Amino acid sequence: MSKDDELLFWFSVAFTLVMVATVLFSYLRKRQDLFTAWHMFLGGSALCVGFSGIYMTSKPHLFNYSSKTYELYYFGVVIFYVTVYATYYFVKFPAWRAYRHFRTCPPLSSSTMMLISLVALAASVSQLVLVQIPGVSQILVRFGLLAPTFAVVFSFAAWFKNKTNPVYVLLLIAVSGVAFYSAFSLGGGRRILYGTAFAFPLCFYWWKARYWKPTRVLALLAVLAVATLLADRAYNNVRWYGVRNVKTLNRKEGAQARWGKFLDKLQNLDDFDFTRIGQQGTEHSFVAIRMYELKEMGAFDQSPLHSLKVLLTFPIPRALWEGKPKNLGITLPFDSGVLAKGTRTNWGTSIVGHGYHEGVWVLVIYGILLGWTLRYLDALLVQQPGNPFFLAFIATSSGHIIGWSRGDIASFTVWPIACFVLMILFLIFSQFILGKRPYDPRVFA
């Protein structure tokens, strides 16, 4: 291991410890709840920046990076995370705004939540509706993919309030089965599947475990973390089965095939590569930094606020705008010469890679925007603890919140926005049908 890699190793270890210590300190000192958007982001950063850096030092690199490249990486990490920490903890404006929003919800009895769950399940059918209108079909598919997790949260809530009623037991089993089948049948993507699974511990924490002793909650979390790690490594090895490498399978065949391979992987733990927990975000950010260094030689141009451009133009169908901006994760592999054009891929370049591609100063801008957003979301959770509408939103977008630091940050931002819009639509619809009243936190007591 070179001296540069040795320093990267210890920097990544220290970074991981800071992320974990922040979560544990604030929770054990009872300053914050454990399951918050902020803590999800920090946990994801520990994986996608910390563990990713450790993994990079254990394998050959794509290029021979100079010591300056390593220094620029450290600088980018420090600038972004100092900004997001400072914004989250010291800027109060987002929390003040949150306390004025979403003050009402429909009556939350088991029967009304069963109705909302069934409506969400019916909405999931939109992912199968073929509308030959550019833009509309994409929106219907995305909402249809997200709706099953909303259905799971509300069916779980209906059962939680009335655990002995067989109707709600059967509802929970049926809705969960449909949601997991829907997510498994997609192949490739995994965050919708993980969001559906995460809905159960997230809701249980806010409805019950929030009032347990911290040591008991952390012990449960440790068990869940190990189970998640095993499941992630198993599914990560089979998620493209039926999408790549073998003949393309339809959704039913793909779900069955991936489920069988998933169970096989779980029974053969020796085949797992646990060193890749954080994936290759750090390596890819080094590639982006190398391109930034080449800019001085006229070989590469920066694209200021590129991710913001991708995000704002996302609703415009590419069929209507051939020159629509593409995600950095799609273009960088080819611009850097690592992969040949035509290869199907989408790199996670980490927030640092985005910073050097778009201008280092954007790390401050994105840090402020992210800090504001996370503070706002956590204020919503705290002011109405256990509100199933907020929990459905957090569960559905959890995979993208956790993986945001890995990126591509445009893609990992548009999905939570879609989840938030879907939450508002369900909230408006349910209040229109069922009426509205102030939320009572004791509803799940």
Q: How many domains does the chain have?
A: 1
For tokens 């009895």, what's the residue?
Answer: 109
Per the CB < 8 A criterion, the answer to whether 324 and 272 are in contact is no
pLDDT band for 228, please (50, 70, 90 cuts).
confident
Which of 155, 150, 157 has its CA nearest to residue 174? 155
Which of these ranges, 148-152, 188-192, 244-248, has the smallest mean pLDDT? 244-248
Only one residue has tokens 């069916």, namely 155
Please tell me whether residue 438 adopts helix, strand or coil conformation: strand
pLDDT of residue 330: 85
Q: What is the pTM of this model?
A: 0.92
Exposed / middle / buried, residue 5 (Cβ in 10 Å: 0-12, 13-18, 19+): middle
> Side chain identity at 440, as an amino acid letter?
D
Q: Does a structural domain hold residue 227?
A: yes
Judged by DSSP in three states, 2 sits in coil
pLDDT on residue 125: 77
Average pLDDT over residues 99-117: 91
For residue 45, being part of any structural domain is answered with no
Q: How far is CA 375 from CA 102, 189, 277, 391, in A?
A: 16, 28, 27, 16
Query: How many angstroms separate the Cα of 386 from the Cα of each of 4, 135, 159, 162?
Result: 47, 34, 14, 16
Looking at the predicted structure, is the pLDDT value of residue 308 above 50?
Answer: yes
In a domain, 50, yes or no: no
Q: Do strands 437-438 and 104-105 pair parallel, antiparallel, or not at all (unpaired)?
A: antiparallel
- Write down the mean pLDDT value for the chain: 86
Query: 28-53 pLDDT, tens per residue?
Result: 998 999 999 999 999 999 999 999 99
What was the pLDDT predicted at 40? Answer: 96
Residues of the domain holding 258: 110-274
Compute CA 338 distance to the chain's CA centroid, rounded to the nearest angstrom.
26
5 belongs to a structural domain: no
Give pLDDT, residue 313: 87
d(CA 401, CA 200): 17
d(CA 277, CA 233): 8
Reference 170, options 160, 181, 155; nearest CA is 155
In the prediction, which pLDDT does 132 show?
A: 62
Q: Does residue 246 fall inside a structural domain?
A: yes
pLDDT band for position 299 (50/70/90)?
very low
Please report whether residue 27 resides in a domain. Answer: no
Q: Assess if residue 139 is contained within a domain.
A: yes
Looking at 100-190, list the stretches that DSSP marks H as alpha helix, in order from N- to C-terminal side.
Answer: 110-123, 136-161, 166-184
Separation CA 329–CA 349 (nearest Å):
6
How would you label 346-360 residue by residue, b for 16+ Cβ within 10 Å and e otherwise?
ebbbbbbbbbbbbbb
Residue 331 lies in a domain: no
Q: Are 112 and 394 in contact (CB under 8 A)?
A: no
